Structure 1
Amino acid sequence: MISDTPPRIVIGWDLGGANVKATRLCDGEVSDIAQWPCPLWQGLDFLQDVLARARLRWPDCATAEHAVTMTGEMADLFPHRQAGVVALAAAMAEVFGPRVRFYAGAAGWVPHDAVEAAWLQVASANWSATAQLVASRVPDAVLVDIGTTTSDIIPIRAGTVAAHGQDDAGRLASGELVYSGVARTPLCALARRIAFNGVAYNVMNELFATTADVYRLTGELPAEHDPHPPADGGAKTLAATRQRLARMIGMDAREAGNTAWRTFADAWREAQLAELEDNLRRVLEAHAARGGVAGAPLVAAGCGHFLARELAQRVGVPCLTFEKVLRLHSAHALWARVCAPSAAVALLYDAQRDMRECGKPASQPVATGTREGTGEEAVCGS
């Protein structure tokens, strides 16, 4: 029998300062995931364009429920973070109306008219949503979400998110937030001196190259995870990439062979891994001092998940990928890993809604998993 009941659509949004990610649920199942570049520092018009593209991709956006988390309030478009949270919330409410709720961590879900009062809890809470979801499936773990710009290292103990810091500043102090990612990080932030062909060089402190150049040469960064222009606004060919790396030590790419530049990329890769490992060990040591469980698995998420796998090997723990934690095996599995916070807020909100319909109290975010997806193809971007 065919039901006359329309499907329940929930769209989870992660509004970043460089990319917007969205996950669409249909009756509790992941049906599509998308990511669009959105350089917020250049203006809110870019977010409006993304939302227009989302409405074309998902015509039922108008009747869907929307669960939103964000980090874009940090963009220097805004005079301060509160203004950023309020502006981003207003943009979402203007397009989607009263069917929008904003994730505020332990404070639960807030409507648009309550965002300004709860702005501090709404600001940069996407890591909390992902960790809440993981905690429901893996009671003892460390979530490592490495994206284009930042890395989150979040301890989970006894099914509870055990982060020491609760905002960006606190997590930067604890090592749970590292402003280092696999696409947008300037290489001059990773090392003061670096070796090339057996000689150590001072690094040029200029925005000549980013980590996208490194992982483009190593073959670990697919084009769909590399949507922004290079540092020089040039091409993303391997030849142009080698030239940008060469500038970091005052050279031209023609002064050495391709193998030498690939080895140079590996040196930058190691510099980034060393910084991430240092912070992971700092978090693990602090977690152990508070009763953490030794040997807990690392849960890898983000487009830099390949580095998370290596970090797990270095500290001697098992590695699980985010989509396997959710037991998601559809065509959307990889994109769920890359766009983990958007999947998390969609699933958390959907579970909260189920509890309300069952007459149970649901004032706090509820972590849950997901059933297998529909098998539709997920393509990142439009």
Structure 2
Amino acid sequence: MTVIGWDIGGANVKLARVEDGCITQVVQIPCPLQADRAKFDQALAEGLKLCLPGARHAVTMTGELSDVFADRAEGVAYLVGLMRKATGDRTLFYAGRGGFLDAERAIERWREVASANWHASATLTAALCAEGLFVDAGTTTTDLIPLKSGAPAARGHTDGERLIEGELVYSGAVRTPVMAVAQAAPFQGVMQRIAGERFATMADIYRLTGELPEDADPYPAADLRGKTKQESAARLARMLGRDASEAGLPVWVDVARYVAACQLAQIEAAARELIVREDLDASAPVIGAGCGRFLAKRLAELLGRPYRDFAETIDCAPEMRDMAARCAPAVAVALLSE
């Protein structure tokens, strides 16, 4: 049996093909940069070209949060309708604790369907690693889900509830503006405030530190220019009200490392609260997923815990492990729906 797992996000669509429990294909398709809902039509059309006729489809989403929709209910209805039109009755929609629903019930129970992708990843991971801290560091957010007794130990279920509980940190490795992570930074031995403008993003930070995977940032840079280290340094310099020519590249790398440390400190603080709350055993690992899972690995080091990669927990060919870990929710809904 072939199942296609979909994770429909506002910036990209991820899909994973699973055949008899084995991951055979994982891809990520950027949504076109346009301010209307047709961007989802185009991205899904590209994804459907990769699907085998007669395959079953399992869908989760965060794209309903896109500002092309008036609210989340409208977003869920549109994306569910889009998939139903393309695949008919062969599609099920993931609703977190509610399991998989058909299209009609998915629209009725939109609150459960909206942004439930984290629950799919955590549920699959917990079935394979009974206790731990699941950390999915993506382009814009970081999910932190304690796992206990083979199930997610999340208290929040909507994004609002999860932000209250510290299970969602709205900070990621690519699209997050630098100004959302740090309000000051050191420059040549002096701390200074930084600009409240989207001159640079965390993609620039991690390009400068050398940690960003080469193809993890398909989006235009903040100034619509290139993505070399020098161009990232120029954008970061603007955050300090400066030109990159005021210092050599190593100075801007040091600034980037400081900002990166600020982001990791935010994630670490949330992680420690969850570990204490759930009384996780000291041997319980951090399981990392997402394009920014290098953050999860560093977090494990700070917490003194073993680290496991999401791709190590599933049946996946070595050459697909990186994409499988980046696209964990798509992989998860495919496997959970088998």
Q: TM-score range by the shorter chain?
A: over 0.9
Q: Residue 196 in 1 paired to residue 184 in 2?
A: no
4+ runs of 1 displaced by more than 6 Å? Answer: none
2:286 equivalent in structure 1: 298
Correspondences of 1:46-57 after superposition (within 5 Å): 46-57=39-50
8 Å Cα contact 1:298/1:319 also seen in 2: yes
8 Å Cα contact 2:23/2:317 also seen in 1: no
Distance in 2 (CA, whole Å) between partners of 1:65 and 1:329 is 22
8 Å Cα contact 1:40/1:77 also seen in 2: no
1:258 equivalent in structure 2: 249
Distance in 2 (CA, whole Å) between partners of 1:51 and 1:171 is 28
Shifted more, 217-226 versus 246-255: the winner is: 217-226
Deviation, structure 1 residue 327: 4.7
Deviation, structure 1 residue 41: 7.0
Alpha-carbon displacement from aligned partner over 1:171-197 (angstroms, at most 9, x marks no partner): 100110011000000000011111121
- What is the alpha-carbon root mean square deviation over aligned residues? 1.3
Alpha-carbon displacement from aligned partner over 1:289-308 (angstroms, at most 9, x marks no partner): xxx43431110111111110
Alpha-carbon displacement from aligned partner over 1:15-34 (angstroms, at most 9, x marks no partner): 11111110011233211100
Deviation, structure 1 residue 138: 0.8
Distance in 2 (CA, whole Å) between partners of 1:68 and 1:40 is 22
Distance in 2 (CA, whole Å) between partners of 1:132 and 1:154 is 10
Q: Residue 333 in 1 paired to residue 321 in 2?
A: yes
1:314 equivalent in structure 2: 302
1:37 equivalent in structure 2: 30
Distance in 1 (CA, whole Å) between partners of 2:22 and 2:301 is 32
Deviation, structure 1 residue 57: 2.8
Deviation, structure 1 residue 103: 0.4
8 Å Cα contact 2:136/2:288 also seen in 1: yes
Q: Could you tell me which of 87, 90, 98 is aligned with 2:89?
A: 98
Q: Could you tell me which of 199, 215, 220 is aligned with 1:208?
A: 199
Deviation, structure 1 residue 246: 0.1
Shifted more, 147-156 versus 46-55: the winner is: 46-55
Deviation, structure 1 residue 286: 1.7
Unaligned ranges ≥5, structure 1: 1-7, 351-382
Q: Could you tell me which of 133, 155, 159 is aligned with 2:124?
A: 133
User: Match of 2:3, SS?
Assistant: strand
Q: Which amino acid aligns with 2:15?
A: A
Distance in 2 (CA, whole Å) between partners of 1:101 and 1:92 is 9
Correspondences of 1:122-201 after superposition (within 5 Å): 122-201=113-192
Distance in 2 (CA, whole Å) between partners of 1:39 and 1:142 is 34
8 Å Cα contact 2:12/2:43 also seen in 1: no
Q: Which amino acid aligns with 2:335?
A: L
Q: Residue 347 in 1 paired to residue 335 in 2?
A: yes
Distance in 2 (CA, whole Å) between partners of 1:224 and 1:276 is 24
User: Match of 2:271, SS?
Assistant: helix
Distance in 2 (CA, whole Å) between partners of 1:55 and 1:127 is 23
Alpha-carbon displacement from aligned partner over 1:219-244 (angstroms, at most 9, x marks no partner): 21123111000111111122211100
User: Match of 1:96, SS?
Assistant: helix
Unaligned ranges ≥5, structure 2: none
Q: Could you tell me which of 9, 17, 22 is aligned with 2:10?
A: 17
8 Å Cα contact 1:10/1:67 also seen in 2: yes
Q: Which amino acid aligns with 1:339?
A: C
Deviation, structure 1 residue 270: 0.6
Distance in 2 (CA, whole Å) between partners of 1:197 and 1:64 is 58
1:26 equivalent in structure 2: 19
Percent of aligned pairs with the same amino acid? 44
Deviation, structure 1 residue 40: 7.6
Deviation, structure 1 residue 64: 1.0
Q: Could you tell me which of 262, 271, 292 is aligned with 1:271?
A: 262
1:357 equivalent in structure 2: none
8 Å Cα contact 1:17/1:39 also seen in 2: no
Q: Which amino acid aligns with 2:25?
A: D
Using the size of structure 2 for normalisation, the TM-score is 0.97
Correspondences of 1:79-94 after superposition (within 5 Å): 79-94=70-85
Alpha-carbon displacement from aligned partner over 1:197-220 (angstroms, at most 9, x marks no partner): 111111100010000001111121
